[in-house]
Amino acid sequence: MSTIQASPLRQISGFRNFWLSRAVSGLGSAITTVALPVLVFQESRSPLLVSLVAAAGTLPYLAFGLIAGAVADRTDRRTLMIVTDCLSALSLASIPAAWALGILTVTQVVVVAFLSSSLSLFFDAGVYGFVPDIVGKDKLTQANSAIYGAETVVRIAGNAVAGVLIALTSPVGTLALDALSFACSALFIRAVTNVASRPADSGSKRPGFRESVTEGLRFLAGHRTLRTMTVVGTLQSFSGGAIVGQLVVFADRALGIHGSDGRIGLLYMAWSAGGIGGSLLLPRLREHFDAFQLLLGVLPIGALLGLLVVFTTDWRISLVALAAWGTAYLVVLVNTMTYSQEVTPAELQGRVNTTRRMLSSGLGVPLGALVASSITVSVGIRAGMGMAVISIALAAVVVWVVQLRRLLSRVSEA
């Protein structure tokens, strides 16, 4: 471990291979994010089925979040990730295969979308304990920032080239590329050989599956700071769902940017590009502030940037503010995840972190999109987007209340 701690990330071969696996797979998944809805709409002409494909990306977190964490903590994580990558490749490859045979149906596409998202959940459950094993807990902030920064870059690139690929080939052809990306990811992870990826308790008597799940929940509920940061992460994800879910409507009704206007793409790119800034900024911030102190400043800044976005009528100001807001959003997201990995025992990484992800991605994101859209319909788009600001402001209130209680407690003890 001392050798790992002394080495920069680029010199840790295991991390290089893992980073490459995430970059390659992320590029394929970014293309599929565009191709799947296009394919479903071409085949069915149904907006409802297109929404169902989008929902299939988040439902697995609610359905399998606790199960995935327990599985990851009871198996070899490297093997789990290789297997899920291979199964994802096969499931996506089934779509072009069925299309070539003339038997492709919309039902199959929706099932594959749900299955692929479910497999990604199990993959991520293994990642939470795998990355600390590769780099050590002292380099988690840099490692997570590098991973999320790369994923943000390839997501922007993937979304940008998806339309071109669909025009040149077809939605089905782009899905074949994603299947190939999962296969490449599995090969890169297989090359990570200098890490023990089996959970720390694998040699001892294992508890029952239900008891294993309960153990992870108990740890999360009993750790005060982690519990608070889980609430913050859920509120943050609520705001993300509200922003992304309403951005097209906001552009149309508040900024006068309509469907055929290329500036809509710029708004999405600004939000995603902010994530790159956040990945570069976080390691430097963590050199000066601990994880909880960081939230005390970044969350109020995020709320103020959100207000600027919601109330501006100039698309250029909105563009800059969205990028800055995206930076603050990514800082909170990765900071919270990194802290959880730092304080969670190795044998509980999967259970604790998939529970957090279940609450944020499985509950926060779809709930934010649903609530914001309902407010937009009944009141207006600025009120709908304002729900994102309210959510972040509430998260800021939560952390400041906890901080003030800590200060009062110290004063009373003194």
Let me know if the fold of 1-196 is the same as that of 218-414: yes
Architecture, CATH, for domain 1-196: Up-down Bundle (1.20)
Task: Identify the pLDDT of residue 8.
Answer: 74
pTM over 0.85: no
CB 109 within 8 A of CB 40: yes
What does the DSSP 8-state code read for residue 205? P
Query: Structure tokens of 214?
Result: 């309960």
Provide, for the chain, the percentages of residues in helix, strand and coil under a 3-state DSSP scheme, each rounded to the nearest 5: 85, 0, 15
DSSP characters over 76-141: -HHHHHHHHHHHHHHHHHHHHHHHHHT---HHHHHHHHHHHHHHHHHHHHHHHHHHHHHH-GGGHH
Query: Structure tokens of 184?
Result: 């490449």
CB 285 within 8 A of CB 331: yes
DSSP characters over 37-87: HHHHHHHH--HHHHHHHHHHTTHHHHHHHHHHHHHHTTS-HHHHHHHHHHH
CB 21 within 8 A of CB 78: no
Q: How many of the other CB atoms lie within 10 Å of CB of 203?
A: 8
C-alpha distance from residue 363 to each of 60, 65, 101, 218 (Å): 11, 11, 38, 20
Domain 218-414 has CATH 1.10.760.10: no
What does the DSSP 8-state code read for residue 358? I
Task: Identify the pLDDT of residue 4.
Answer: 44
Number of helical (H) and strand (E) elements in the chain, helices listed first: 16, 0
Give the Cα separation of 113 and 106 in Å (integer).
Answer: 11
Type of residue found at 116: S
Give the Cα separation of 247 and 399 in Å (integer).
Answer: 28
Closest CA to 332 of 286, 288, 295, 375: 295
Give the Cα separation of 395 and 294 in Å (integer).
Answer: 13
Task: Identify the pLDDT of residue 51.
Answer: 61
DSSP characters over 389-413: HHHHHHHHHHHHHHHHHHHHHHHHH
Sign of the dihedral through C-alpha 39, 40, 42, 48: negative
Give the side-chain half-sphere CA count within 13 A for 104.
22
Query: Domain coordinates of the chain in residue numbers?
Result: 1-196, 218-414
**Gap between the terminal Cα atoms of the chain:** 40
CB 70 within 8 A of CB 209: yes
Give the Cα separation of 317 and 392 in Å (integer).
Answer: 20
Give the Cα separation of 79 and 126 in Å (integer).
Answer: 9
Task: Identify the pLDDT of residue 159.
Answer: 73
Task: List, in order, residues 6 or more apart from 308 with CB less than 8 Å away.
Answer: 317, 321
Give the Cα separation of 244 and 103 in Å (integer).
Answer: 34
Compute mean pLDDT per 10 residues along the chain, 414 residues long, and list them.
55 90 91 82 74 72 87 92 97 95 91 91 93 91 93 83 77 90 96 66 59 88 95 94 83 82 79 89 94 97 96 94 95 95 93 89 84 89 94 97 93 80
